[in-house]
Structure 1
């Protein structure tokens, strides 16, 4: 599962052969979650409130890039772009 961004101990990944709706995976310490790209909402899993809010803010800022990466699922992972971290 390629890592597309990392910030403040939060790792953002996408699976090569994932399913709809468009989403990404988040890891933070021992926590794992799945975030809907279009709604920037938690779909599955758990993140502490502070980290969830940071991830949601990042997702809103980078929605277009996330959707572009998701639209290329099943293609060469090398076409995926790394996305700037939250700073």
Structure 2
């Protein structure tokens, strides 16, 4: 999770890398920037829905410079 680029996106988000694609996706599932195939976007959105509370908690720690725990990947 990258948190120090809030000049680009002012809402909590994650950066996703898939092959040659890069995207910024809000924790609410909104595609903010970049592009990613629809299938992978849906997987990321499903992961975010499952881990929404953890993602927001990690974001809140990260913006305060506090280390945060890794969140379980989608399997």
Scaled by the length of structure 2, the TM-score of the pair is 0.85
What CA deviation, in whole Å up to 9, does each residue of 1:13-70 have, x standing for no partner? x224232211110000110000111x21111110111101100000111010110111
CA RMSD of aligned residues (A): 1.3
SS in 1 for 2:22: strand
How many pairs does the alignment contain? 71
1:17 corresponds in structure 2 to 4
Unaligned runs of 5+ in 2: none
- In the TM superposition, 1:29-40 aligns within 5 A as 29-37=19-27, 39-40=28-29
**Structure with more helix by fraction:** 2
1:55 corresponds in structure 2 to 44
Q: Which has the higher contact order (CA 8 A, sep 6+)?
A: 1
Scaled by the length of structure 1, the TM-score of the pair is 0.74
Q: Which runs of 4+ in 1 moved over 2 A?
A: none
Unaligned runs of 5+ in 1: 1-13
1:42 aligns to 2:31 (yes or no)? yes
